[in-house]
A and B are shown apart, each in its own frame.
Chain A
Amino acid sequence: MTLTFEDLQQIAKIEKDKQEGIKYQINVCVAAGCLSCQSGVVKESLEREVNRRGLENWTRVKGVGCLGLCAVGPLLYLEPDGVYYQGVQVSDVSEILDSLGGSPVSRLDCSSHLPFFKRQQKIVLENCGKVDPESIEDYIAEGGYQALYTALRAMTPNEVIDDVATSGLRGRGGAGFPTGLKWTAVSKAFNKTKFVICNADEGDPGAFMDRSVLESDPHRVIEGMAIAGAAVGATNGFIYVRAEYPLAVRRLRHAIAQAERLGVLGKNVFNTTFDFEIKVRLGAGAFVCGEETALIASIEGRRGTPRPRPPFPAEFGLWGFPTLINNVETFANIPPIIRNGGDWFAEIGTEKSKGTKVFALAGRVNNTGLIEVPMGTPLRDIVFDIGGGIPENRRFKAVQTGGPSGGCIPEQFLDMPVDYESLAKVGSIMGSGGLIIMDETSCMVDVAKFFMEFCMSESCGKCVPCRVGTTQIYNLLSSITNGTGKSADIPNLEELCDLVKNTSLCGLGQTSPNPVMSTLRYFRDEYEAHIHDKTCPAGACNCGGSKEAK
């Protein structure tokens, strides 16, 4: 079956017509965060009660993707009133239905969290909280798959790539490589067979943006991949997802089946010569598989160990064929870029970091959850306005970005704009977008040790600096935290970090010293207190008995 543009519009119209006469729409978040606090039961109960009261002709209950403020789920969003409800229980259902058309149930109102919602700018997450992730029709009603149509019928592959290049989009998987350049490289690679891979391994601890996007708006990623396929000349795509994300996997598979049924995936998409197929592959629990060459090995059914680059996957990738590999969020940015043009996207953000970035806020902050802000937004706004500050009136100490490859940013840099360059300047990285907030109860040496332990256990063992070096660094940090550290440990640490950084084979090893180096740089006094005074200033480590004292 082939789909035409008229078909697309027809589907959108039918979907819109269904809403004719609907006066109230109750959107219930059904992403993993809210589901884990029983939003599914709340949704069922709402549906039952709407039917029992005979309101179904003008009240619609709809499951939607992540509304962002996961900390106070289950969340509801009422249209057209624009009211958010938090912590909704089955026992609240009656009252919510009673209040429709009147004043909102103030007990559940989340208006105190207004800055959380108002300060954001949503591109990647534009459909989250709006469309039903299990309905392709709903996605189409919001303009979905029109970008794919445009890319196939109204643009040449080069024009698509130019638009992506103009947008200034950089890879959201961590390194920030210009997406347009990567696409150009793959499109120029001379081979009939090429592949597109979506990296949904999301290994960075503390990050859950990709999970949310896949659970809330899977079609956006599929559309982005298909556009990429058309642009670089690939007919096969793979999405490599962590097995730890069962809901995301289910929604993706469902979405792919729907797309195949409608004909936006498969043979002769939109009556063109373009064929495109997507397969989902599951990771089996190994962090290093997020690294692109390891990921490719894993898809090929081998041990997921990285190999040196070059050659880059763009020339020699999956089964030796030219392969485009991008992150989930990178692909999710593509449909709006094609729809609105690269120039539109380039207007947003800073000079070198364009567009928005999705961040996962976690740790010691009031509003944990998922947010999207323009690149260049100051950290302070993110932590204190959107994040609502630190609970229990504790003091902010640091924000950790970039997971085990990143660093800890202290208070003095809170006014810094968040973009690739600024983060690198202070010794951290953007990474995939996890922001973990730490307060005065977190010990920075302990934090460094924690990440080093992670790298030590996730090192694939192929190269010596990474395998041995991480263990040596870990041992030094252990002795410091348990109160047996010596003065020479700090220079030794610095030397080891330097060595591991410069001689490891892949990014895992090369970046593993970052948490140690950044804490040494900004929280050296904490290291010294452990070593010289045998105390842990945060009262977290068991050195000199400070833990018992707490």
Chain B
Amino acid sequence: MLTDDMKKKIEEECHRCGNRQGACIEAIQTAQTFWGWISDENMEHIARFLGMSPAELDGVASFYNHIYRKPVGKHIVMVCDSVSCWVMGYEKLLDHMTQRLGIGLGGTTADGLFTMVPIQCLGACDKAPAIMIDEKLYTDLTPEKFDRIIEKYREGA
């Protein structure tokens, strides 16, 4: 269910766009910051709130990579798989991350803390390889640096 707080935020987006369908991607993203992901049921709630059909909204949502339709971990680890990171050794790093977290791209750790997803260029190519956890950018990554970062998130959990 959409809470009043969420409705208020979505309403603001609609107002900002001056158009209800125009706000649909933002509306989903707003809802996602609360739920972490969008279930079918919640997709319906949002669609109804925007005056769209659920199928129509789902069609839009499925196009975009950052809209999650499955439960995700508390933190999203976005791994840049674009060219500069690749030239600077992304594959080795990915191997390490996969081992360390025990999940592949798209997977979620058993403790529900991390979901790892691939992402296009983070615009940090000059300090490749780069990843972004939630909204924080980590650059010039090495396996050791990654381990330290992950430890910090674990401690914070």
* Residues of A that sit less than 8 Å from B by CB: 32-33, 35-37, 70-71, 73, 202-208, 210-211, 242-246, 279, 281-287, 298-305, 319, 360-364, 368-370, 400, 403, 434, 436, 438, 442, 447, 450-451, 454, 458, 460
Contacts and interface: CB of A to CB of B under 8 A. Distances in A.
B121 A71 contact: no
B25 A298 contact: yes
Interface string B94-126: 000000000000000000000000011111111
A246 B16 CA distance: 19
Contacts of A279: 16-17
B21 A301 contact: yes
A364 B26 contact: no
Contacts of B24: 301
Nearest to B22: A301
B123 A284 contact: no
Interface of B: 16-17, 19, 21-26, 28-29, 59-60, 63-67, 78, 82-84, 86-88, 119-128, 132, 135, 137-140
A299 B137 contact: no
A450 B23 contact: no
Contact of A243 (B23, B29, B88, B138): B29
Nearest to B16: A279
A362 B123 contact: no
A303 B126 contact: no
B126 A361 contact: yes
A364 B121 CA distance: 17
A70 B130 CA distance: 13
Contacts of A304: 63-64
B119 A362 contact: no
A151 to B, nearest CB: 25
Contact of B82 (A205, A285, A299, A364): A205
A286 B65 contact: yes
A246 B126 contact: no
Contacts of B19: 300-301, 319
Contacts of A363: 83-84, 87-88, 125, 128
Nearest to A370: B126
Contact of B23 (A301, A360, A368, A458): A301
Considering residues B23, B66, B125, B132, which has the most beta carbons from chain A within 10 angstroms of its beta carbon?
Answer: B125
B125 A207 contact: yes
A442 B16 CA distance: 47
A390 to B, nearest CB: 12
7 contacts: A205-B82, A207-B125, A208-B125, A244-B120, A244-B122, A361-B126, A370-B126
Contacts, number: 145
A20 to B, nearest CB: 37
Given A243-B66, A285-B66, A450-B83, A299 B127 contact: no
Contact of A71 (B29, B67, B127): B127
Nearest to B52: A301
Contact of A362 (B63, B65, B66, B84): B84
A357 to B, nearest CB: 17
Contacts of A400: 83
Contacts of B84: 205-206, 362-363, 434, 436
B22 A300 contact: yes
B120 A203 contact: yes
A-B complex: 9 closest residue pairs judged by Cβ atoms: A205-B82, A285-B65, A284-B64, A368-B126, A208-B123, A362-B125, A205-B121, A285-B66, A211-B123
Nearest to A318: B22
Given A244-B119, A299-B22, A284 B83 contact: no
A207 B119 contact: no
Contact of A206 (B78, B121, B135): B121
Considering residues A36, A305, A442, which has the most beta carbons from chain B within 10 angstroms of its beta carbon?
Answer: A36
A242 B22 CA distance: 16
Given A32-B123, A208-B126, 18 more contacts: A32-B137, A36-B127, A36-B139, A37-B127, A205-B84, A205-B121, A206-B125, A244-B78, A244-B132, A279-B16, A283-B64, A284-B28, A284-B29, A300-B19, A301-B25, A302-B60, A304-B63, A447-B83
A284 B67 contact: yes
A474 to B, nearest CB: 15
A430 B74 CA distance: 40
Contacts of A460: 63
Contacts of B23: 301
A205 B124 contact: no
Nearest to B67: A284
Contacts of B26: 281-282
Contacts of B120: 203, 205, 244, 285, 287, 454, 458
